[in-house]
Structure 1
Amino acid sequence: MNWPGDIQNGIEADLRRRICMLELPPGAALSRAQLMEDYGVSSTPLRDALLQLQAEGLVEIHPQSRTMVSLIDLDHARQIHVMRNACEQEAAAVAARLHDPALPRELSQIIELQVDAAQNGDLAAFTRLDHAFHDTIFRHAQLEKVRRVLRRESGHIDRLRALHLMQPEKTVQIVADHTAVRNAIAAGDEAAARTAIRHHLSQSILISEKLREARPEYFSHNVQPSDRRPDSAA
């Protein structure tokens, strides 16, 4: 039976959100029976959603055995960071060059909502707004397809950032970083926009080893010995 794509996509999106927010933590076993009950579906759309998440490296499926949330792969996160860093710098620079006055206004509104979410301790809303901030820049730079590709590949980075977000100072830092990006774009300063976004994206990667030391059970052990600086290719 062919299921409507929006059913599978909805399950997939919600599971991705729960995994990336650590609601379903790395290493957690996933009961298909429980998930079918939670989403009110049969096995087919759930299976297809899990297969997609497996392709993204967020789920491990062991046939006739178990399905589990994958551990955070730091080497994967660092490699995707290089691609994400380059693409986000380009999007910010293009947005600054286009100098659309509507964009700084939209970004300011998102930042204000983030401040409110942080003050209310609503990290889920704060994270949604964080994605909205970056999505808005890519949309104004007319690079939405690039953003979609990055989102599919960024699960390990997103979980790293979710761990970092649990530290109280992280929300303050993100608001300050977003404000710097917004100001550079508003000024039409391409170089400053690149610098601001590069600084913003590097923080969780820079302390990734500390995050792993704090929660070693969340991380895989296939880390490459060459611990290059994450900004070296930027």
Structure 2
Amino acid sequence: MVRAILLSILRAPYYPPASQKGLWGGEGVVSGYYTTKRRKHKIKRKWHPNVQTMKLFSDILDQTLRVPTTMSALKQIERAGSLDNYILRTPDKQLNSEFAFDLRKKILSRVIYLKKRDVRKYQKAMDNLQRKRDAYQFNLTLAIEEEPTKAFKEQKLQIREIKNEMNEIKKNIGICEWEILDAKRRSVTEKEKYLRKKAQKFWMEKARKKQLKQAAHARAVARAQESLEDEDEESAEPERKGVWNWIKSIFSRK
């Protein structure tokens, strides 16, 4: 099995129109370069997410939905506990889907409907919702929880700063790895060039020796043929002389 090594990514992921009709979990089409152990040069490629139509059940809507989803979206749904939790609790940047926004609007409107009709289902739905701003986002009025406190906000800011520092460190590490891979690739190409030149010299010398052998063989054959012709002429001369003497002797008798 050939293992591919990712070298670099050209640009930010591209989100096609099909991503707005399903749950891709923030994934998109990524274009970049990669290498393998067999092929040392860079190869351009596009990575597409694996999208499959799956049946997902919504507890609040009480119906199954056929949705094109990716594996990362399914993992996020499992971590959240249900489809409703995933739709309501994940941020908008991570969802990045019109289908998800429409589904969130339907779920929240269903919660308002259950508040007046069925109290048990309404209490279950209340557990799924997290903050008040989920309802205010679509101009709905629901008093679910109080706004986060100052300590919570400060803690969130600290977490963001730590995440930014970690991302910078990861970027620097990625640049170092790319430089190492590029240096290895260049060294390998230099070795290949040297080996190619050496192989060319070897095969050229071999072809030249073969030509010299063929020429020497042709000369030897020509010499052998010449020697055989000379021997035939020498053996034919005494026979001719004997025939001529026999003719002379016949005429002298007469």
- TM normalised by structure 1 equals 0.23
**Greater fraction helix:** 1
Q: Specify which structure has the higher proportion of strand.
A: 2
TM-score, L = length of structure 2: 0.21
Radius of gyration: which is bigger?
Answer: 2
